[in-house]
Amino acid sequence: MTSILEQLTGAVSDAFAAAGLPRDLGVVIESGRPDLAPYQCNGALAAAKAAKANPRALAETVAAQLTAARPDLAVEIAGPGFLNITPQDALYDQRADALAADPRTGARTADKSLKVMIDFGGPNVAKPMHVGHLRSSVIGDCLQRLMRFRGHRVISDIHLGDWGLQMGQLITELEDEQPDLPYFDAGFTGPYPDEAPVTIDDLARLYPQASAKGKADPVRQERSRKATAELQAGRPGYRALLAHFIAVSVAALKDDFGALGVHFDLWKGESDVNDLIPAMVEDFKARGVAEESDGAWIVRVAREDDNKELAPLILVSSQGSALYATTDLATILERRREQDPELILYVVDLGQSDHFEQVFRAAVKAGLAQEGGLEHVKFGTVNGPDGKRLRTRAGGSFRLSDLIEEARARARQRLTEAGLGAELPPEAFEDVARKVANAAIKFSDLQNVRTTNYIFDLDRFVSFEGKTGPYLLYQAVRIGSLLRKAKGEGLEPGPVRTGHAAEAALVRRLDGFNAALERAEAGRAPHLLCEHAYSLAQAFSAFYTQCPILPEKDEAIRASRLRLAEAALAQLTLALDLIGMEAPERM
């Protein structure tokens, strides 16, 4: 199923070839001036430059070839030698009928299906999540949806941070609070009580307490460090506690992510690869990948042509412990053994760029991965209205559940203002609020170019107007209710017959879906998907304002418009789903 753009590019490329010019100059794009012509090709200018010829003359030769082969296209030469192309309505009609009949509304699958792992989310056990984790989750989930839809075999992994100093801090804090628990006994060997000694609220309280004490008191911090080392060395009581902490955190995280509609296939963490580390380190040493330096073992990763010197990766610290980079390398090893992906994407903030560069280079050096098989999908920070990194009122990081609740509260308020509260039973109302809140959070994040920073402004995000998630849901709801009404009146959709400019414009938007998906995948760029959904909603809105549907007397025109509306809703629903948004029935 080729798009109009592809068909036109094919025809114009043929015309360039027939005129003795390079085929690849025949690329057709949508014109910036649809009032003059909807499509254009600028290839004659490039051809003229290369051949030192007159661009208008070349354009005329190409235009003559094109009109001879495709008399159905109106071709004009504009300015210095642009080809302006206007197809007949029949081309739009055929394409619209094909799109409407296709459950994927024109979206094809990738030529080659890859096995991809996506490492995203990355919250840390016991530490509250911050908005960086939220961005990672929203972007990562969108990429997994997109890549699956494009036919790739995707495995997502949350990669919990469950192995650092924070675990030792929790252990010491808990020991001070409940010294009688069996876990602190050096001789503890089990049995492990099923019941965790802490709740998620305890964890949320214990960690900041421990962290504050550690900052104020070096002795205390040393105790936490020692507990971390003993945990990592396998002390049974501590391992039992770790298992509890992880279980309690994972249960809470599953609730939060579930409410947000973000899914992970694997709930693994840094601690899962601990057993792989000793042999991996020995192997790095034996093969000369790692070298000794001041009592530590490092991997040199700097390259001559780096414009900024990259520090060596520390594989084993001088105290003998494995660090963040070590667990990341061991995780690559584990993934290679268990899933053997062709590509691993790491959706993590920009601040960790050097870390990933070190890890990737070390992994390639050690033969754990191929060049290009590991990719850091980086993103910018979320800032408060003051332009600084977003914090809660108390100055700390956000808890995901608080953020979701705050978004829902605003969504409820907005929906109540719109009069929906009185019309829906409480449960249904709450479901709409959830969908609106999720759409607000996700779209406002994803619509930005990934690497830029953006300002967090919930009031704007939940607005039903402007470029927002709720606006898009609202458009989908509007089309849905129009179609239900038509059905209720016994009106059937029929073959598309475009006549109005707004209809052709809508078909052109629908036509661009596949290209938008291809580009969004290639650039790991969710904003291109958002852009498509938004421009589609706008094109529908313009069409709906200018082209009456239910009141239309001409039966064929009405049926055609119903089919266009159906196709628009189907494609919008697909696009929203890839963004991670779900339209309610009403709002």
Q: Of 207, 346, 360, 471, which one interacts with ligand ARG (CB under 6 A)?
A: 346
Could you give the 3-state DSSP secondary structure of residue 348?
strand
Q: Please say which residue, 163 or 534, places its beta carbon nearer to ligand ARG.
A: 163
Pairwise CA distance, residues 142 & 262, whole Å: 9
Please state the closest distance from residue 231 (CB atom) to ligand ARG, in A. 17
Please state the closest distance from residue 270 (CB atom) to ligand ARG, in A. 8
Taking alpha carbons only, the member of 367, 396, 370 closest to residue 384 is 396
Binding footprint of ligand ARG, residue count (CB under 6 A): 8
Residue span binding ligand ARG (CB under 6 A) among the ranges 53-61, 117-125, 238-246, 423-431: 117-125
End-to-end CA distance of the chain, in Å?
Answer: 35
User: Using alpha carbons only, what angle is made at residue 214 by residues 212 and 216, rounded to the nearest 5 degrees?
Assistant: 70
Q: Please say which residue, 348 or 424, places its beta carbon nearer to ligand ARG.
A: 348
Residue span binding ligand ARG (CB under 6 A) among the ranges 119-127, 214-222, 421-429, 494-502: 119-127
Q: Of 43, 122, 341, 584, which one interacts with ligand ARG (CB under 6 A)?
A: 122
Please state the closest distance from residue 123 (CB atom) to ligand ARG, in A. 7
Write each residue from 399 to 418 as x if it is in contact with ligand ARG (CB under 6 A), else as -, in one continuous string.
Answer: --------------------
Is 119 a binding residue for ligand ARG by CB under 6 A? The answer is yes
Q: Please say which residue, 247 or 550, places its beta carbon nearer to ligand ARG.
A: 247
Taking alpha carbons only, the member of 327, 239, 233, 324 closest to residue 280 is 327
Within 291-330, the residues that bind ligand ARG by CB under 6 A are: 328
Pairwise CA distance, residues 58 & 45, whole Å: 8
For 404-442, b where at least 16 C-beta lie within 10 A, e where not — what string? bebbbebbbebbeeeebeeebeeeebeebbbbbbbbbbb
Residue 334, C-beta contacts closer than 8 angstroms, at least 6 positions apart: 272, 273, 276
Residue 117, C-beta contacts closer than 8 angstroms, at least 6 positions apart: 154, 155, 156, 157, 335, 339, 341, 343, 344, 345
CB 125 within 8 A of CB 171: no
Peptide bond into 236 cis (omega under 30): no
Taking alpha carbons only, the member of 98, 106, 48 closest to residue 77 is 48
Please state the closest distance from residue 208 (CB atom) to ligand ARG, in A. 16
Q: Please say which residue, 262 or 420, places its beta carbon nearer to ligand ARG.
A: 262
Is 124 a binding residue for ligand ARG by CB under 6 A? The answer is yes
Please state the closest distance from residue 451 (CB atom) to ligand ARG, in A. 17
CB 127 within 8 A of CB 166: yes
Q: Please say which residue, 396 or 499, places its beta carbon nearer to ligand ARG.
A: 396
Q: Please say which residue, 127 or 435, places its beta carbon nearer to ligand ARG.
A: 127
Is 348 a binding residue for ligand ARG by CB under 6 A? The answer is yes
Q: Please say which residue, 268 or 561, places its beta carbon nearer to ligand ARG.
A: 268
Residue span binding ligand ARG (CB under 6 A) among the ranges 100-108, 116-124, 463-471, 484-492: 116-124
Taking alpha carbons only, the member of 368, 293, 301 closest to residue 330 is 368
User: Which residues here bind ligand ARG, judged by CB under 6 A?
Assistant: 119, 122, 124, 159, 161, 328, 346, 348
